[in-house]
Amino acid sequence: MIRLSMIVKNEEHRYLKLALESAKKYISEAVIIDDGSTDNTVALCKEILQGIPYTIIENKQSKFHNEWELRVQQWEESIKNKPDWIIFLDADEIFEDGFAFAVNELVKDEDCDLYSFRLYDFWDDEHYREDSFWCAHTVYRPFLLRYRDGFSYEFQKSSQHCGRMPCNVFNLPNKLSEYRVKHYGWASVEDRVSKYNRYMELDPNGTHGSLAQYMSILDPNPNLKKWIEHDKKEVMQKLRVLIGSSVCQTPKILEKFLESTKAIDTSSFDALFLFIDDNQDEISSKMLRETDMGCDKLVLEAPPREMVYRTDEITHYWDNSLVLRVANLKNKIITYAIKHEFDYLFLIDSDLLIDPGLINHLIAQKKDIISEIFWTMWQPDTIAMPNAWMYDKYDMAHPALSEDERNRQAMEFLVRLRQPGVYEVGGLGASTLISVPALKKGLNFSPISNVSFWGEDRWFCIRAAVLGFSLFIDTHFPATHLYRDSDIDLLEDV
Contact 6, 79 (CB under 8 A): no
Average pLDDT over residues 4-29: 96
pLDDT tens track for 376-424: 999 998 999 999 999 998 999 999 999 999 999 999 999 999 999 999 9
CA pair distance 34, 247, nearest whole angstrom: 49
What was the pLDDT predicted at 64?
75
Contact 48, 75 (CB under 8 A): no
CATH number of 238-491: 3.90.550.10
Residue 490 has pLDDT above 80, yes or no: no
Residue 23 has pLDDT above 90, yes or no: yes
Contact 399, 406 (CB under 8 A): yes
Residue (of 167, 169, 171, 124) closest to 144 by Cα position: 169
Q: How far is CA 67 from CA 121, 205, 481, in A?
A: 21, 18, 53
What was the pLDDT predicted at 236?
56
Average pLDDT, the chain: 92
Return the domain boundaries, the chain: 2-226, 238-491
Contact 210, 109 (CB under 8 A): no
The pLDDT confidence band at residue 463, using thresholds 50, 70 and 90, is very high
CA pair distance 346, 363, nearest whole angstrom: 10
pLDDT tens track for 118-130: 999 999 999 999 9
Amino acid at 268: S
Directed axis angle between helix 282-290 and helix 251-262, to 10°? 10
What was the pLDDT predicted at 412?
96
Amino acid at 170: F
Average pLDDT over residues 259-288: 93
In three-state form (DSSP H/G/I as H, E/B as E, the rest C), the secondary structure along the chain is CEEEEEEECCCCCCCHHHHHHHHCCCCCEEEEEECCCCCCHHHHHHHHCCCCCEEEEECCCCCHHHHHHHHHHHHHHHCCCCCCEEEECCCCEEECCHHHHHHHHHHCCCCCCEEEEEEEEECCCCEEECCCCCCHHHCCEEEEEECCCCCCCCCCCCCCCCCCCCCCHHHCCEEEEEEEEEECCCCCHHHHHHHHHHHHHHCCCCCCCCHHHHHHCCCCCCCEEECCCCCHHHHHHCEEEEEEEEECCCHHHHHHHHHHHHCCCCCCEEEEEEEEECCCCHHHHHHHHHCCCCCEEEEEECCCCCCCCEECCCCEECCHHHHHHHHHHHHHHHHHHHHCCCCEEEEECCCEECCCCHHHHHHHCCCCEEEEEEEECCCCCCCCEECEECECCCECCCCCCCHHHHHHHHHHHHHHHCCCCEEEECEECCEEEEEHHHHCCCCCCCCCCCCCCCCHHHHHHHHHHHCCCCEEEEEEEEEEECCCCCHHHHHCCC
Looking from the CA of 157 toward its CB, the CA atoms found within 13 Å total: 0
Q: How far is CA 54 from CA 45, 81, 265, 453, in A?
A: 9, 13, 46, 66
Q: How far is CA 478 from CA 299, 310, 373, in A?
A: 27, 26, 5
What was the pLDDT predicted at 435?
97
Given the candidates 3.90.550.60, 3.40.50.2000, 3.40.50.720, 3.70.10.10, the CATH classification of the domain at 2-226 is 3.90.550.60
Query: Are the folds of 2-226 and 238-491 the same?
Result: yes
The pLDDT confidence band at residue 453, using thresholds 50, 70 and 90, is confident
CA pair distance 362, 375, nearest whole angstrom: 18
Lowest mean pLDDT among 173-177, 257-261, 280-284: 173-177
Residue (of 300, 303, 302, 304) closest to 336 by Cα position: 300
The pLDDT confidence band at residue 233, using thresholds 50, 70 and 90, is low
What was the pLDDT predicted at 423?
95
The pLDDT confidence band at residue 157, using thresholds 50, 70 and 90, is confident
Lowest mean pLDDT among 99-113, 200-214, 253-267, 424-438: 200-214
What was the pLDDT predicted at 160?
60
pLDDT tens track for 330-384: 999 999 999 998 999 999 999 999 999 999 999 989 999 999 999 999 999 899 9
The pLDDT confidence band at residue 494, using thresholds 50, 70 and 90, is very low
Residue 480 has pLDDT above 80, yes or no: yes
Lowest mean pLDDT among 252-256, 286-290, 311-315: 311-315
Average pLDDT over residues 57-61: 94
